[in-house]
Amino acid sequence: MSETSSPGLRERRKVETWTAIHEAAASLALQGDAGQATVEAIADGAGVSPRTFFNYFRTKEDAVLGLREPFLDPELSGRLSTDDDLLGQVSRLLVTVARTAIGDTDSARLRELTARYPNLHKRMMEYMTQAEALVRESVAGLLANDPSWSAGAEGFGPEETARMLVMLAGVPARFSATNPDADVAQGLPEDLGPALALFHHLQRKLS
């Protein structure tokens, strides 16, 4: 196999092109009005064609933010268990899936862009909603196959129960991410332990 056709080289070039497009888009948006970051301008700044741009990003907003379609590794989904702190498991899985959309994008710059431009924040939330939907579907499947959960609760079936559980599981992650002492450059929190401990403490106190 020649060097130019090796999978490793092709993948590196894809990463380099993706990065070049994202960096050009983010730089244009930070220089002034986000409206200046047109697909044509971004492609020109990255040294690619507009056609190539759409091979890597669906919209210019995605390019500015450096977003990818979120995905849930089936192996991680298969590790979910109703036997031990399901809420904590789901909370950590939410963060993991959200990271597949954000990747290693500069977190501080991401916050600056979403704070400056409401449309970018809206686009970011659309991706986070997609991540939640992936986790919710996985949790619903888990509950439906567990006799202690499959009958539902308080008149709600596994799907609605999973929706509530995923919504609750997002609280510790948001709590950690919005902590005044959180490292902005870190992005999504690595350690949810303290937030989960507080959540469970409040749960016991309030029930």
DSSP string, 102-136: HTT--HHHHHHHHHH-HHHHHHHHHHHHHHHHHHH
Question: pLDDT band at residue 153, thresholds of 50, 70 and 90?
Answer: confident
Residue with the bigger pLDDT between 141 and 183: it is 141
For 80-97, write each residue's pLDDT tens digit: 999 999 999 999 999 999
Q: Which residues contact 52 (CB under 8 A, 6 or more apart)?
A: 17, 43
How high is the pLDDT of residue 185? 46
How high is the pLDDT of residue 178? 83
Gap between the terminal Cα atoms of the chain:
64
Q: What is the mean pLDDT of residues 92-114?
A: 90
**CA 157 – CA 99 distance, rounded (Å):** 29
How high is the pLDDT of residue 5? 56
How high is the pLDDT of residue 184? 46
Q: What is the mean pLDDT of residues 87-110?
A: 92
How high is the pLDDT of residue 134? 97
Question: pLDDT band at residue 4, thresholds of 50, 70 and 90?
Answer: low
For 44-77, write each residue's pLDDT tens digit: 999 999 999 999 999 999 999 999 999 999 999 9
Which residue blocks in the chain are alpha helix, DSSP H? Answer: 7-31, 39-46, 50-56, 60-65, 74-78, 86-102, 107-116, 118-144, 147-150, 158-177, 193-206
Average pLDDT over the chain, rounded to an integer: 90
Residue 183 confidence (pLDDT) above 70: no
Residue with the bigger pLDDT between 183 and 184: it is 183
Q: What are phi and psi of 153, to 5 degrees?
A: -145, 135
pTM: 0.86
